[in-house]
Amino acid sequence: MIVPIELENRKKITYDITIDALPQLTFDTKVAVVTNPTVAGYHLQTLLAHIDAPQLEVITVPDGEEYKKLETVETILNELFEHKFDRKSLLIAFGGGVIGDMTGFTASLYQRGIDFIQIPTTLLSQVDASVGGKTGVNNKYGKNLIGAFYQPRAVYIDPAFLKTLPEREFAAGVAEIVKMAVMFDRDYFEFLVEADLRDEEVLKETIRRSVELKAWVVNQDEKEAGIRAVLNYGHTFGHVVENETNYTTYLHGEAVAIGMVMANALAVELGLMSEAEAERVKALLEKSSLPTSYEIRDVDDFYEHFFLDKKSANNSIKFILPQGIGGHKIVKDIDESVVKNVLRSFGA
Ligand code: NAD
Ligand code: MG
């Protein structure tokens, strides 16, 4: 016997991503802002001045990727119970991608799911992490292995928050922007080559175009069954670089920058991209103060590391490669010797 379930409320999820000065936000429910001491120190006063709610709590968790874990989620959940939050209550993620991912995941869990809003404060979270509804935490088996697809009710992106962001963190966000342009949009790449991101209007335009691209991808493929995987360009190599350097030498975006240079070298080898185009991407990364070189000490070791990546299903590595600038191709089963030859060009 088969009992079909046909959920009527499977309606389309829609929400707006606003890129502008933070508006005044009024709620008729309890609200908790989840943030960390760094972000709170710079910007909490500003945020609180923009929120009206019958009850407003601030939950502060320690700053750092190492706190993006279940224990911290449980701490947040406990605070929500202490403050008698109900199913109509709302969370606001106020911080970078760590806060965003963790707050969204907590919202998905509290009493089986309450609303949340993203107010991202790093460039990376404004153009990448806050868009698309991937939420979650890390554990000892890897990054983001526990989580949920859980969309926010709204995203408010105010570039003014970026004024206090350290330069390296800013550059790390630019890496994900370059990634998007190289994979999907040649015009945007040309725009970035000319762009001075210290100019407020140019920065805002850059964020807008990146968010539009990411939204365009996610709207087609929320759960990464297809095109969303293209966003992993530079990440297959970048993860190995992060891993080999124990996640201490490079910020994620910096490792992705190196990873894109490596992916481009492979693309050149396979005739997908010209050497001149690879040089142009490298030049843009360098202009953005991102690292583009890395010394691979042991090519066999580096290659083995690909298989530890959760995205390398069934022992076949899926390489996300550029096809010229503005195009992409997913290539499987590249000959091991071809890949290793390319890796050797990054050797000592
Ligand atoms: P982060 O959240 O750790 O922020 C970086 C640092 O900047 C932190 O120390 C933070 O406290 C500080 N900071 C934040 N805003 C600031 C401001 N305005 N001024 C000064 N300092 C500020 O790192 P991130 O790069 O924003 O995000 C990385 C995380 O995002 C990773 O955990 C990654 O897995 C996740 N991520 C998720 C997605 C997704 O789709 N959900 C996509 C990309 C990355
Ligand atoms: Mg990334």
Interface predicted TM-score (ipTM) of this complex, two decimals: 0.99
Residue nearest to atom 2 of ligand 1 (CA): 96
The answer on whether 98 is annotated among ligand-binding residues is yes
CATH code reported for the domain at 2-162: 3.40.50.1970
Question: What is the rounded CA–CA span in Å between residue 67 and residue 138?
Answer: 9
Residues in the chain: 348
> pTM value?
0.96
Q: Is 68 in the pocket of ligand 1 (CB under 6 A)?
A: yes
Q: From the CA of 125, how far away is ligand 1's center (Å)? A: 6
Catalytic residue among 235, 282, 305, 328: 235
Q: Which of 66, 169, 218, 256 to mutate to test the pocket of ligand 1 (most atoms within 8 A of CB)?
A: 169
Domain map (residue ranges) of the chain: 2-162, 186-345
The pLDDT value given to residue 149:
96
**Residues pairing with 95 in the sheet:** 120
Query: What is the chain's pLDDT, residue by residue, as a tens digit (348 residues)?
Result: 788 787 766 667 899 999 999 999 999 999 999 999 999 999 999 999 999 999 999 999 999 999 999 999 999 999 999 999 999 999 999 999 999 999 999 999 999 999 999 999 999 999 999 999 999 999 998 899 999 999 999 999 999 999 999 999 999 999 999 999 999 999 999 999 999 999 999 999 999 999 999 999 999 999 998 999 999 999 999 999 999 999 999 999 999 999 999 999 999 999 999 999 999 999 999 999 999 999 999 999 999 999 876 555 567 889 999 999 999 999 998 999 999 999 999 986
Question: What is the rounded CA–CA span in Å between residue 148 and residue 227?
Answer: 19
Residue 134 tokens, joined? 């991937």
Query: Is 3 exposed, middle or buried (CB count within 10 Å of its CB: 0-12, 13-18, 19+)?
Result: exposed
> Which residue bears the tokens 């539009």?
212
Q: Is 121 in the pocket of ligand 1 (CB under 6 A)?
A: yes
Question: What is the rounded CA–CA span in Å between residue 262 and residue 274?
Answer: 14
Question: What is the rounded CA–CA span in Å between residue 160 and residue 202?
Answer: 13
The number of the ligand 1 atom at minimal distance from the alpha carbon of 251 is 25
CA-CA-CA-CA torsion sign (276, 280, 282, 286): positive
Task: Examine the residue annotation and report whether 214 is marked as an active-site residue of this protein.
Answer: yes
What number of other Cβ atoms are within 10 A of residue 23's Cβ?
Answer: 10
Q: From the CA of 253, how far away is ligand 2's center (Å)? A: 6
- For the chain, helix, strand, coil in percent to 5 are 50, 20, 30
Question: What is the rounded CA–CA span in Å between residue 201 and residue 301?
Answer: 45
Query: Is 297 exposed, middle or buried (CB count within 10 Å of its CB: 0-12, 13-18, 19+)?
Result: exposed
Residue 334 tokens, joined? 């590249």
Question: What is the rounded CA–CA span in Å between residue 235 and residue 284?
Answer: 18
Contact partners, residue 336, CB within 8 Å, separation at least 6: 303
Q: Is 35 in the pocket of ligand 1 (CB under 6 A)?
A: no
The answer on whether 282 is annotated among ligand-binding residues is no
Q: Is 119 in the pocket of ligand 1 (CB under 6 A)?
A: no
CATH code reported for the domain at 186-345: 1.20.1090.10
Residue nearest to atom 21 of ligand 1 (CA): 165
